[in-house]
Amino acid sequence: MSRSSFQVPSGISVIPIAGLPEIVQGDEIGLLIVDHARAAGVQVMDGDLIVVAQKVVSKAEGAVKRLSAQTPSVEAMKLADKVEKDNRLVQIILDQTARVVRAVPGVLIVETVHGYVCANAGVDQSNIDGEDIVTTLPEDSDRSARDIRRAIIDAIRGGGDAGRDSAIEIGVLVSDTFNRPWREGSTNVAIGTAGFDPLIDLRGTPDDFDREMLTSTVSLADEVASAAQLVMGESGRVPVAIVRGVRWVAGEFSIGRLHRPAKRDLFR
Amino acid sequence: MSRSSFQVPSGISVIPIAGLPEIVQGDEIGLLIVDHARAAGVQVMDGDLIVVAQKVVSKAEGAVKRLSAQTPSVEAMKLADKVEKDNRLVQIILDQTARVVRAVPGVLIVETVHGYVCANAGVDQSNIDGEDIVTTLPEDSDRSARDIRRAIIDAIRGGGDAGRDSAIEIGVLVSDTFNRPWREGSTNVAIGTAGFDPLIDLRGTPDDFDREMLTSTVSLADEVASAAQLVMGESGRVPVAIVRGVRWVAGEFSIGRLHRPAKRDLFR
């Protein structure tokens, strides 16, 4: 990669987009983002990275489950006993799981069918109206990000924010808060991306003294997600943020770029 | 914690402070930050969080070692064989190590004497003028952050940026880029803090539907470090960034707040 792909920007802004209604299945998140940004006097601009919380994406896509609709398997019941969680919740988690990574009382860490390693397969009980409902992660968060990105670009072109013929390069990422080994406190990470490369590859880039960099890659998308979280908060009241001023490489890339293969991972 | 400690800010700015000279032992980082910020037309303001890269802190504190000055122990030589690294480098790493977490060819992950879990105990060969020199992590990065914070406040009070009697509340954090299990790409994290609480504790905070939050804590300091990295880059050419607009809780806290105790950690 060339050094020019990681030039130092002159400064970054993180702009909260608040006021979205309670999201229900079928809502067009991209359109809501552009409308609510406009209402707040914010225009989506060329170069913006737009971070959207998983929770609203899952709600819009109908990625929700009812605990009361579950019939736990024997496997789910045994695992629920072990981790001391509701066996219907554990059934939903197992339906999203490729491999159990750690299971102890109070903690269930899995590798999901999508390739993330996280607690409870990202199944979330908070901020859902009704104790019986949980969200699951979007089926394909890259696709979710692509759909939102397309809707935003269409809304901008149709809505007079920019000329119909202008090329607006934006990136979109869907984010969720994950906990980590070794360090306390969750951080926001990217679970789906569209329009930009989530990983900066510095391998071969000379450092200040023209020696090869030892730290080889940087998770741009996770750092952008963390920056966004500083205005999004945890509660869901600000489910969207625009991160403006970041240098990024446009193109079609998968969030799989951020999934460390199990064979290169010492903690699975 | 009250909800008011995590109100949504109206927006965040991340401002790079560039142009610092090559740092040598004895340099007063805090003073350099204020001087170079002023030169760039940036004034340190009440509420700012100032992120400083570990590399310049280590250089200013003389936390550097010469490979050629090392006499590797038998333990270092055996471990160096195993991880396929220079046995003098491994000796320096072991001197900083409380416990080896993983050691395989090419990878040496340890818990440092300071309590971080990271590759190579944070010993870094890049961006040091001379192949023979490496930096080690500051002896006490909280103390480093406190010293920098004090110097910045003194420089502001003495320098006319604000009235001598005005109370300027700022936070300082020393950051380094760490790799993680499961996910590719390093992210910038806090290794020392002063003046603010690095952890947001949401336990007991009601969510939008007045149920208790399930995600209990957020690593504010790591998210701020990641936001800063978006302008700092990896090369060290921008070793300082101001993160403005974040809500935080003032007070004396240790970075130990972000160290998950081994007994609560499933990956040690």
- Series of mean pLDDT values for 10-residue runs along chain A (268 residues): 44 93 94 93 94 96 95 98 96 98 96 97 78 93 98 84 66 97 96 97 65 71 97 80 96 96 91
Query: What is the structure's pLDDT at B93?
Result: 98
Domain ranges of chain A: 3-62+138-259, 64-135
CA distance B97 to A245: 39
User: Between chains, do B126 and A207 touch, taking CB under 8 Å as contact?
Assistant: yes
DSSP H or E run through B37: helix B29-39
ipTM rounded to 2 decimals: 0.92
User: Between chains, do A186 and B215 touch, taking CB under 8 Å as contact?
Assistant: yes
Domain A64-135 superfamily per CATH: CofE-like domain (3.90.1660.10)
Q: What is the pLDDT of residues B21-43, one digit of tens each?
A: 999 999 999 999 999 999 889 99
The three-state secondary structure class of B111 is strand
**Are residues B113 and B97 in contact, defined by beta-carbon separation less than 8 angstroms?**
yes
DSSP H or E run through A148: helix A141-159
User: Between chains, do B185 and A217 touch, taking CB under 8 Å as contact?
Assistant: yes
Q: Which residues of B touch A234 (CB under 8 A)?
A: 6, 200, 202, 205, 213, 215, 218
Partner residue facing B11 (CB), from A188, A219, A231 = A231
**Count of CB atoms situated within 10 Å of the CB of B154:** 14
Question: Which residues fall within 8 angstroms of residue B157, CB to CB, at 6 or more apart?
Answer: B164, B166, B168
Nearest CA in chain A to B227: A227
Alpha helices in B113-219 (DSSP H): 141-159
Q: Which fold has domain A3-62+138-259?
A: 60s Ribosomal Protein L30; Chain: A; (3.30.1330)
Q: What is the pLDDT of residues B192-227, one digit of tens each?
A: 999 999 999 877 666 555 554 455 899 999 999 999
Query: What is the structure's pLDDT at A205?
Result: 66
Q: Which fold has domain B3-62+140-260?
A: 60s Ribosomal Protein L30; Chain: A; (3.30.1330)
> Tokens for B32?
């350099």
Query: What is the structure's pLDDT at A108?
Result: 97
Residues 198-237 of A with CB under 8 A from B: 198-200, 202, 205, 207-209, 211, 213-215, 217-220, 222-224, 226-227, 229-237
Reported as half-sphere exposure (CB side, CA atoms, 13 A), residue A65 has a value of 23
Q: How confident is the model over B43-65, as a mean pLDDT?
A: 96
Name the minimum distance, in Å, from the CA of A127 to any CA of chain B.
6
Query: What is the structure's pLDDT at B240?
Result: 96
For testing contact with chain B, the best of A2, A100, A184 (most B CBs within 10 A): A184
Query: What is the structure's pLDDT at A8?
Result: 43
Q: What is the DSSP letter of B148?
A: H
Where does residue B28 rank: exposed (0-12), middle (13-18), buried (19+ CB within 10 A)? middle
